[in-house]
Structure 1
Amino acid sequence: MKRMLPHVAALGAGLMIIAGSCSRQNEATLTESGLDPAKFAGEYNGKPTALYTLANSNGMEACITNFGGRIVSLMVPDRDGQPRDVVLGFDSIAAYFPENNQTDFSAAIGRYANRINQGRFVIDGDTIQLPTNNFGHCLHGGPTGWQYQVYDAEQPNDSTVVLTMHSPDGDNNFPGNVTAKVTYTLTSDNRLDIAYEAVTDKPTVINMTNHAYFNLNGDPLQSITDNELYVNASTYTPVDSTYMTTGEILPVAGTPMDFTSLRVIGERINETDFEQIRNGNGYDHNWVLDTKNDINVPAATLQSPSTGIVLDVYTDEPGIQVYSGNFLDGTVTGKNNKVYNQRTGICLETQHYPDSPNKPEWPSTVLRPGETYKSHTVFAFSTDKK
C-alpha cells in the first residue's frame, strides 16, 4: 500500500511525527472507538507508523498499529448491543514510544515472550547472553523487543492486516536473521484471530504472544477483579520472588490458582499467605493447559457481570500467562484521559512456558533453519444475554 508522508517534523534522534494519515481511513474520520488515525501517522527509527482498522457487520471493530503490532482499541457489543472498548491503550502513536511510556499494552511480543533466566541459554553448545531488563532476567525479548519496533504492514481487505518483522541476527543478542509474521483477522462471528509465523537462518528460540490488557467492563476506571475467569488447566508453573519459573509443575487444586471453574478474579487475589500470590503480587503465572494443543478446545474464559461481555480464548499453545495488572499504579494515563490504576486490565497471554530454553523437559521453543514456527490464538467474543 502506497503511503503519502507530507509535513515531516523532527522530534529527536530517530523519531519523527508526520502530520497526515498513513492509514486507509480518511484523516478527517474518527474510528468507532474515537481514535484519530492522523495521530498514528508517524515515523519511528526511520519506519512509518499507521493505524489500521478492521470491522465487521456486528458492530465490532479492531484498531491496530504497526508500532509493536499493537491492538489500540477493540470495540465489542455488550449484552444491550452497546459497543465498548475492551482493551487498554493510548490515543496517539507517540504515547506508545518507549521514550514516553514503557508499556507492553496489546503488543505482538517477540522474539521471546515472558522471561529467560538471567538472559542466558545454550543452543547447540553455544551460550547466548541476552540483555537483562526485569529482575535480572530477559523479559519479552529484551529492552528493544518487537513491541518497541515497527512492523511492515499490509491490509489486503477490511478484515485483515498482515504485519511482518525482519529481525536481524543479533537483535537483542538473539541469533539468526528472523522473518516473522503476525496476521490479525476480524471474523464475521466476532473473533479476533491471530496467526503467528517465523523462519530463521540460524538455530534460535521463538515464543510469540499478544499482550492485550483486557477490561471487559469497558471502563478502565473499574477494576477487573469483579470479572469471572476460567482456565482449562489443572497445573501451573510456580515462580520465585523474581518471577522466574522454578522448574516445578504443581496442581492448582485447593489453592488460589484454581480456576478450573468460573471464579471471581478478586476472590483470592490478595491471599498473600499463599507464597505464589505473594511472589506474583497477585496473578502473574503460567498455567499448563489441559487442551493438548487443540485450538478447538477453550483454553480460558473471561466474563464481565456488568456488561455481559464474554471472551473465550482458543490456542494451540501449551500454556497461558494470566497477569492481573498488578503493577499498573496510576502513573499511566490512557485513552480518553483515563488513569490506569492497579488491576484495571488482565492479560491472557498464550505461550510456551517461561524459560523453556533452560528447561529441556518442557515443550521446546527452538526454531531451526528449514522449519517454520507457527502459533495460533483466537479471542472469541459473545455475551451472556442475562
Structure 2
Amino acid sequence: MRSFIPLLLAPLVLAHPKIPTPGPDGKYTLSAPGIEAKFIAYSAAITNLVVSDRNGVKRDIILGYDNASFYPVDPNHPDYGAVPGRYANRIKDHTYVVDGDRFFTEANDGNGTLHSGLNGWSRRTWNVSEVTSKSITFTIRDEGNSSQGLPGLVLGKVTHTIEANSWSTKLYAVSKTHDTPILLTTHPYWNLDAFQNPATDLVLNHTLSLPFGKRLVGIDGNTQSTGALPAIPAGDINDFWSKPKQLGANQGNANWVGNCGTNSGCSGYNNQWVVDRDPLDVTASKPVASLSSDFSGIKWDLYSDQAGVVVYSCYWMGGANELKASQKGPATNGFVKSNGCVAVEPQDLIDGINHPEWGRNQIYTPKGKPFEASIQYKFSTF
C-alpha cells in the first residue's frame, strides 16, 4: 500500500491552480461585454477601466498610470484605485480608545491619520491569490502595529469581478489576535470624459446624484470629524439628494471655498454623505450614488451596503500627476489639474471609532464577525 500513496497524492498536488503572471504591461486584464479593466497587486488597485461612450468610442475613465511599476514609487501617492486599510480615511487627532486602552496612530495628515498612515494597505504589495476569466482576488497578512497603533494580526481579502457593464468588489477582513479597528473601501478616481472633452479637462460638468445623502459627517477646519451629523437642506451647496446637479453648480456659493476644510481653503468637495436609506433595504437594491457626463454620455450607478459615501473633487491635485497616454486630450496639459477628477468611496462613517454615539461597529474581535463590504458600479450610456 505504501507504494501507492505518492500516486494517490500526486493528482491532488498537480491540481492546485497556478497563479498566472500579469501581462507585458505589468497588469492583470479582465474583460466582459462592454467593459475591460486592469489590476495590479500593489494596493490591490484598479488601474484602467474602459467602457464605450454614447458614440461607441472606448474611453478609459479611471485615473492611474500606464507604468505599473510607478505606483509604489509615486511621490504624490494619491491612492489611485487602491484599497486603503486596515482603517480607511481619517482618524481624528491620530488616536482612539478600545476597552479603556488608548492607541496612537501615525499622524500623516496634519494632526490626524489618513488611510492608516504611511504603511497602510494602499502602500503595500498584496498577494495575488486567484485569477479567473472574470475575477481577481488579492490577499494581505497585516501583522499587529505594522501600521502604527493598529494592534493584532488581520487577514484581508479583496475580490474584483468584471461582468457585463459592471465592476464589483467584495472586501473582507478578519481580526485574528486582538480587538482592532477595520474599515475598508475602494478609492477610484473618475473622469467620465476620459479627458477628451475639448472644452474642459475638469469634472465640474459631471452630474452627481446622492439620493439618500440627506446628512453629512460634520468636519472641522482640518477636515476631521466633529461628531455632528448635520442635515442638508434642499438647495444647499451639499445637496445632491433633492435632485441631481453638476459638481461645479455651486462655484459661486459663498461656502464653495472652505466647504471641504476652511483651514486649507479647500474648495468643492471632500466630504462624506450619510446613506439614510430605508432600514428594510438591506440588499442595497437601489444606487447610493450616480455620476454622469453630458459630453461622453457615460453614466455609472453605484450600489453598496456601506453607511456612507465620500466624494472628493480633487482639489489637491496640483498638476503633478501625469495622465495616461490615451487620456491626454485637447484641453489637457498632460497632467491632472485641481477639479480634474472625482473620487467616490463608499464606506462606513469616517472616524466612527471615536464616536460611539453613532452606533457604528468598527472594532472587530477575534471571536466576532469579520468585516465584509460590497461595492458595485454599473455602467450605461444616455
Shorter-chain TM-score tier: 0.7 to 0.9
Q: 1:383 corresponds to which residue?
A: 381
Contact 2:29 2:37 in 1 (8 A): yes
1:358 to 354, 357, 362: 354
Tell whether 2:206 aligns with 1:227: yes
Return 5+ residue gaps in structure 1 as ranges.
Answer: 5-21, 28-36, 41-50
Distance 1:79 1:3, change over 3 A: same
Structure 1, 229-238 or 159-168: larger mean CA deviation = 229-238
Separation in 1, partners of 2:252, 2:64: 26
Q: How far does residue 238 in structure 1 lie from its aligned partner after superposition?
A: 2.1
Q: How far does residue 3 in structure 1 lie from its aligned partner after superposition?
A: 7.0
Contact 1:96 1:103 in 2 (8 A): no
Q: Which has the greater radius of gyration?
A: 2
Structure with greater strand percent: 1
Separation in 1, partners of 2:373, 2:19: 30
Contact 2:364 2:370 in 1 (8 A): yes
Q: For 1:172, give the aligned amino acid.
A: S
Q: 1:137 corresponds to which residue?
A: 112
Q: How far does residue 269 in structure 1 lie from its aligned partner after superposition?
A: 4.0
Q: 2:336 corresponds to which residue?
A: 340
Q: 2:246 corresponds to which residue?
A: 264
Contact 2:151 2:180 in 1 (8 A): yes
Tell whether 2:143 aligns with 1:168: yes
Q: 1:88 corresponds to which residue?
A: 63
Separation in 2, partners of 1:99, 1:340: 14
Could you tell me the TM-score, scaled by structure 1's length?
0.85
- Partner deviation per Cα, 1:135-186 (whole Å, 9 max, x = no partner): 2101011111111101101343121000101100112121110001010001
Separation in 2, partners of 1:271, 1:245: 23
Q: 1:321 corresponds to which residue?
A: 310
Q: 1:369 corresponds to which residue?
A: 366
Tell whether 2:166 aligns with 1:187: no
Distance 1:191 1:212, change over 3 A: same
Q: 1:276 corresponds to which residue?
A: 259
Separation in 1, partners of 2:115, 2:135: 25
3-state SS in 2 of match to 1:306: coil
Separation in 1, partners of 2:160, 2:252: 35
Alignment of 1:13-52 (within 5 A): 22-23=21-22, 25=23, 27=24, 37=25, 40=26, 51-52=27-28
Could you tell me the TM-score, scaled by structure 2's length?
0.85
Q: 2:7 corresponds to which residue?
A: none
Q: 1:248 corresponds to which residue?
A: 228
Distance 1:140 1:266, change over 3 A: same
Contact 2:19 2:128 in 1 (8 A): no
Over aligned residues, Cα RMSD in angstroms? 1.8
- Partner deviation per Cα, 1:42-92 (whole Å, 9 max, x = no partner): xxxxxxxxx11110133x101010101111100011112211001111111
Q: 2:6 corresponds to which residue?
A: none
Contact 2:19 2:129 in 1 (8 A): no
- Partner deviation per Cα, 1:325-373 (whole Å, 9 max, x = no partner): 1100112213116311111110110111111110001212111113211
Q: For 2:381, give the aligned amino acid.
A: T
Contact 1:283 1:322 in 2 (8 A): yes
Q: For 2:182, give the aligned amino acid.
A: I
Separation in 2, partners of 1:128, 1:271: 40
Separation in 2, partners of 1:269, 1:143: 33
3-state SS in 1 of match to 2:156: strand
Q: 2:131 corresponds to which residue?
A: 156
Q: How far does residue 99 in structure 1 lie from its aligned partner after superposition?
A: 5.3
Q: 1:311 corresponds to which residue?
A: 300
